[in-house]
Every structure is written in structure tokens, then in C-alpha cells.
Amino acid sequence: MRIKHIKAHWLRCPIPAGRQWRSDYGQLTHFDMTLVEVTDEDGHTGYGEAKAAVGATGACASIVTCIEQELAPQLVGMEAGNITAVWEAVYSGSRDHYARDRGRVFPILGNRGTTISALSGIDTALWDLKGKRLGVPVVELLGGSCRESMPCYASGGWAAVDKLGDQLKSYVDHGYGGIKMRVGVMDNSVRETVARVEEARRALGQEIDIMVDAHGTFSVTEARRFARLTEDLGLYWFEEPVTSDNKAGTAEIRRGTTTPIAAGESEFTRFDFRDLIEHKSVDVLQPDCAIVGGITEARRVAALAETHQLELAPHCWGSAFSFMAGVHLAFSSPSAVYIEHSLGGNPLLYDLVKEAPRVTDGRIQLPDRPGLGVDINPDFVQQFRV
């Protein structure tokens, strides 16, 4: 069945005042996303998400334009089930026929950034559509699941040191065995960050896994100092210690600590993840299905994790569609251990769909509904479309 329509919508939804948070991105008052719809000739529709930013807020106008005015004219009429062919057609553009003949990529100039983010939303929507047409969950299309349920870690942890313990304990009270807190330039100094992490370990004890996420904001020297001062706290991982532009610096930090290093939410395509691995920069790969190139490319990243015996931890901070894309990916990969679950105010995770993804006692069950397993709430889309 061929692709008939591809549409994109910029959604901007306010976060209730009591659920907002502040980080290095500033005060987060809204959540943005690009919702992508792909409809086939039979009228079946799949949904995906394309991101303008890894955080909550980002202008999506350029992604909408890219999808509707650049990619849609190229892809309408192609076979909707040939998802890999669609992906390669976008990545190599007008030279796609050379790529197919020669067996290697001939990438367009926009082989990172907005175009790949736009492709991510289309690709994920095609997987959702294919699962719905066949009546099976996406995880079945990826080869089936490696497990019946998976633990989630609670992703939040913005509070100052005097309130952090209570904030994190409130997560654990809901059954989470792991939590992630934000660190880095949002604090006034490395010492203040260390104090917050020490308070987290004091409040949670030794049995709870603690991940820390610097959003790439430390310098190499600051990150090395932080890693040394927290070495005995047994952190589960240290995420994005420095900018993704500095893979050699990330490798330097990893060489100087036994704390595992995680990265990847800001990376585009498997080729960026290959570079992380070749630099020996990481222990944990974190592809975001709404950034990396969709489920197709995220599965290729999962194969790299499996090949190099690294942990896979999809970045699941976004709408219900990118969250569930990461969930299906994680269930399909033997390298995945944890699934990220946002504890910040996120209407796009809970209200964009008719029934929000369910996490019970810190665990999520194997998806068993067709496609991504979530249904769009059209009233929400209508209300918050920019």
C-alpha cells in the first residue's frame, strides 16, 4: 500500500505551574513537539515524533516545513511498507539510485540536523502504520521481545540540595529502582553538584541506582573532577558529561573513571554512534528515535551496542510516540536494561494519547497492541496546534 499523505503539526502545550522545572535550559513552561502523520491509500494512519530539541522546548516550524514541503513530495507514492527504502531515499536524495547500485550511502548535505529529525518522525510513523496494518506491535516487527517486562528509571531530579532528597524519595515511593537527576552548569560549581549527588545517595541508600545527567555542560576538567569526587558513590552512569561535539574529551573522561559514561541523545544516525564507539567514549548508547533517524536507525544503533557489548538505553524524553518507540526498541534488544520514564510535567506523554503508557511499580510491560500501541487524542492536537 502506497503513501498517500504526510502531514506535520507543531504542538505547543503549557506545563502546569506546579509541574514546571528549571535546568540549564531555563524555566520550562511549555512542551513542544512535531507530530507526524503518514496515511496510506487505504486510510490507515501512523504517527511519529520529530524533535527540534532534546529538551522540552523548541521551535518546530522548520521541521514542519521540511516534512511537508521537502520530504512529502519526494515520498508520497512510495510503498509504505518498504520503510528501509524510504529511509535511504531521504538520506541519499537524488543520488539514491547510485546508493542502491553501489551498496553505500551518497548522503545529502542535510545528513544531520533538521532533515534527519524530520525523517525520524516519518520513519517512526511508518513503523506505527505497518504494525497497525499487520495487527502486531512494532516490537514483533523488530524480531520480537527479549523479555516480558522491563524496569524504568524515574527521570527528573532538578531540586536544590535541601529539597532533593524528598524529591527523589517521592520517585522511589512509586516503585522505581533507579532515578536520574540533572547536574552540571545549572549548579553554581562542581562542589555544589557533588553536594547534590552526595545528598541523593544519602537519601536513597545504596540499593537505588542513581544516574546523573550533565546535558553536555561540563568542561572536560570539570567533568573529570566531578567523576573523581563521586567515584565512591557508585553511580550507575554519568550522562553527557561534555558537549557532543567533543567525543575525544568524553573519551578522556571515561579513561579517568570507573563510573560508566552514557551519551547519544544529541547524536544523528548510526555514523555518529560509530564515532562514539571508535573514540572509546561510552559505556551506554542513548539513541532518541525522534532525533537519530527514527526506529530504523535506532535499531541499527542497537546492533552496534549488541556488537560492542555496550548497554542500550534509549532516550525517551518526549511525547508518547517517541517514548513508545524507545520502549519497543528496548524490548527488542538484549543490550537494553532500563527504560527512561519522565517524572516532569509532560502533557505530551500523558494527554496527547487516549490512554497514556502505563508504568506500574517502576516497571513497564511488554507492549501488546498493534503499532506503537497508543492512539491519538484529536481534541488535544486541535487545541495545542501552533
Catalytic residues, by residue number, are: 215, 315
Starting at the edge strand found earlier in the chain, the sheet holding 3-14 runs: 3-14, 30-40, 45-50
Report CA 112 to chain centroid distance, whole Å. Answer: 16
Query: Closest Cα partner for 339 from 200, 208, 160, 154?
Result: 154
CB-count exposure of residue 53 (10 Å: 0-12, 13-18, 19+): middle
Residues 6+ apart with CB under 8 A from 9: 34, 35, 37, 64, 381, 385, 386
C-alpha to C-alpha distances, 123 to 42, 66, 139, nearest whole angstrom: 19, 14, 15
**Which amino acid does the sequence have at 38?**
V
Long-range contacts of 199-205 (CB under 8 A, 24+ apart): 199/161, 199/164, 199/165, 200/157, 200/164, 200/165, 200/168, 201/233, 201/234, 202/165, 203/164, 203/165, 203/166, 203/168, 203/169, 204/165, 204/168, 204/169, 204/172, 204/179
* Chain centroid to CA 13: 19
179: β partners:
154, 210
